[in-house]
Amino acid sequence: MVIGLAMVVNLAAAGLAGAGIPITMKRMGLDPAQSSSIVLTTVTDVVGFFAFLGFAVVFQDVLV
C-alpha cells in the first residue's frame, strides 16, 4: 500500500515536472535539452523518496 501510493505520487510529480521544467527553462532563456533531464531526475528522486517515507510514517501504526 505504501509503495503503491508513493508510486502514484511520484508518477504525478514526474508528469508535472516533465512538462513544466522544459517550459520554465525555455522562458528563462536556457536550452532545455541540455539540463532539463538532470533537474527532472532530481525532482522525481526527491519526491519519490519523501513520498515513500512520508506514507510509511503515516501508516506506521498499521504496518507494525
Residue 14 sits at the vertex; the CA angle it makes with 26 and 43, to the nearest 5 degrees, is 75
Distance in angstroms (rounded) separating the CA atoms of residues 29 and 59: 44
How many domains is the chain partitioned into structurally? 1
What domain range is 31 assigned to?
A: 2-63
Given CA atoms 5, 10, 15, 19 in this order, what sign does their dihedral have?
A: positive
For residues 51 and 6, the answer to whether their CB atoms sit within 8 Å is yes
Q: What is the pLDDT of residue 48?
A: 95
Cell of 12: 504525478
Please state the pTM of the whole predicted model. Answer: 0.83
In the prediction, which pLDDT does 63 show?
82
pLDDT in tens, 1-50: 999 999 999 999 999 999 999 999 999 999 998 889 999 999 999 999 99
